[in-house]
Structure 1
Amino acid sequence: MTLIAILLPWLSFMLRGKILTGILCLLLQITLIGWIPAAIWAVISLQNAREDRRTRKIVKAMKQNR
């Protein structure tokens, strides 16, 4: 998924269900200068989503141990 985020940042957002963000990213990516910020944005967003998922999993495990 990280490779998709670098090569096709808009597709990374679309695959995660963020349609409007994907369209905005595609508009940014259309310009050659905007490709690099779009790729960075997609990779950071992907990492944040992974961190959120990991945090929810830890919180759920902590609640079950009570």
Structure 2
Amino acid sequence: MTLLAILLPWLSFILRGRILTGILCLLLQITIIGWIPAAIWAVVSLSEARENRRNRKLIQAIKNSNR
């Protein structure tokens, strides 16, 4: 998914269900100069989504262990 975020940043957003963000990223990516910021944005967003998912799992595991 990281490679997809670098090569086609807008598709990375759309596949994760963020349609409007994907369209905005596509508009940014249309210009050659905008490709690099769009790719960086997609990779950072992907890593944040992975981090949020991991944190939710950790919180759920802590809640379950306290019972």
Q: TM-score, normalised by structure 1?
A: 1.00
> What amino acid is aligned across from residue 40 of structure 2 in structure 1?
I
CA RMSD of superposed structures (Å):
0.2
What SS is found at the alignment partner of 1:36?
Answer: helix
- Secondary structure of the corresponding residue to residue 41 of structure 1: helix
1:59 corresponding residue in structure 2: 59
Look up the equivalent residue of 1:25 and give its one-letter code.
C
| Structure 2: tracts of 5 or more residues without a match | none
Q: What is the distance in 2 between the residues matched to 1:19 and 1:8?
A: 14
TM alignment of 1:15-34, pairs within 5 A: 15-34=15-34
Q: Which ranges in structure 1 are unaligned for 5 or more consecutive residues?
A: none
**Which amino acid is the alignment partner of residue 3 of structure 1?**
L
Aligned counterparts of 1:50 and 1:65: Cα–Cα separation in 2 = 23
How far did residue 39 of structure 1 move? 0.1
TM-score, with structure 2 as normaliser: 0.98
Count of residues paired in the alignment: 66
1:54 Cα deviation (Å)? 0.2
* Per-residue deviation, 1:16: 0.0
Runs ≥4 residues deviating over 6 A: none
